[in-house]
Structure formats: C-alpha cells, structure tokens
Amino acid sequence: MKEYVEKMIKEYPDMKFERSCLLNQMKSLKITEDDVIYSMCFSHPEGERVQTSGLSDKTAKVALSFRDRQRQMEEERYNFLFDKYQHLDEEITFLEETIADIPGEIGEIMSELVIKGDTWENVCFSHCIGT
C-alpha cells in the first residue's frame, strides 16, 4: 500500500491533467462519418466477378446500418472514456481525502506539496522549516 500511495503522490499532477483531458474528450466526443466508414470497410474480393445491378446488397446494408453503427461507436467510446475517467477520479479523490486526513502541520505540508504543487523551498519558508 505504501508503494501505491507513493506512486500516486508522484503522479498526482499527471493524473489531474489526464482527468481534465478525459472530461474534455467526453464533452466533445463526435465520431465522424469517415470513422464510421473506416470501421465498416469490407474486404473486397480480388479478381473477376459478375455484378447484376447498380446497387449491391453490401452497399444497401452499409447504407442502412451507417447511423446505427455511428451511434454504437460513440456510445462505446464514451463508455470507455467514462470508465477511465471514473477510475482516475476515484484515485484522485482517495489521495486528496487521505492527505486531508493527516493531522496537524504534516497534513498542511503534504497538502501544499502534493495538492497545491508548491515547491519544497516555499513550503520550508512558510512553515519555518530549516533545510
């Protein structure tokens, strides 16, 4: 557990930044038509073939399922981002609450160093700690 908390303290600024990025991605999530078309690409048979009409069954199926596929892709992507965001948010909340529960001046120092991102020199100066 000690190693886990130490890792979280070291990665706290990156975790906050990643959480912010995930939130922005969820807010602006839009699957483009090109993304849908790319995901629906079929392999084309090579060689000669006989085409009986101007519109193949494959083309009709693609046209009918395009919007459904786009909605499904957006939902899958959103769920992926949301799960990742939720996990990261829980870790950040855990770390912040744990630091807030540290009693006395040590808790204040940890809060200033980790959560506020203050430098060791500034913390030493503000708490009259000799280096």
pLDDT tens sequence across 10-48:
999 999 999 999 999 999 888 877 777 777 665 445 555
| pLDDT for residue 63 | 65
Q: What share of the chain is helix, strand, coil (3-state, %, to 5)?
A: 75, 0, 25
What are the CA-CA distances from residue 37 to residues 33, 34, 42, 60, 97 (Å)? 6, 5, 10, 13, 46
State the Cα–Cα distance between residues 78 and 27, nearest whole angstrom: 9
**Per-residue model confidence as pLDDT tens digits over 106-121:** 889 999 999 998 888 8
Q: Which amino acid is at 130?
A: G
